[in-house]
Amino acid sequence: MEAEPVPRVVATDVAEAEIECLRAEHGPLMFVQSGGCCDGSSPMCFLDGELLLGPNDLLLGEVGGCPFYIDAEQYERWNEPLLVVDVAPGGGSGMSLEEIDGVHFSLAFRVPATAATSALG
C-alpha cells in the first residue's frame, strides 16, 4: 500500500471558509503565490484563468478546491516548505478577490513531515 503524498499547500479552516464564500459569489478561482510584486509575498486569489500562467509556474496543489500555483524556482529557493494559507484582517494592496471582504490571504511556512522525519535520520 502506497502512502498518501505529503501535501505541499494547505489552508486553515478560516481560509477555507473565505474561499468557499468567494467561490459561491464568483465561481471557479485560482491562487498564485506572489513573487514580490503588488502584495509582497501574499497568495493572490483570482477568477480561474484570469491570470496567465508562465512556463515556470508550478501547480503546487489545491486549497478549497482551487488550484494553487507558485514559481518553481521560488518554491525551490524557499526549500520546498509546506505552505499554509490563512486569512488576516484588513485588505491587502494588490488585486486579490478577498479584499472586497476586508481581509487578505496570508502565508505561513512549515517543514513537511517527510523532511522533518528525514532530518532526524
Rounded Cα distance, 15 and 55, in Å: 28
Pick from 18, 35, 28: which is nearest to 49 by CA?
28
Rounded Cα distance, 115 and 80, in Å: 10
For the chain, domain boundaries: 11-120
pLDDT, tens digit, 9 for 90 and up, residues 49-96 = 999 999 999 999 999 999 999 999 999 888 888 999 999 998 776 788
The b/e string for 46-79 (b: 16+ C-beta within 10 A; e otherwise) is beeeeeeeeeebbebbebbebbbbbbeebbeeee
Query: Full-prediction pTM beyond 0.95?
Result: no
Tell me the fold of 11-120: Hypothetical Protein Aq_1857; Chain: A; (2.60.300)
14 vs 112, residue with greater confidence: 14
Pick from 96, 90, 9, 83: which is nearest to 44 by CA?
96
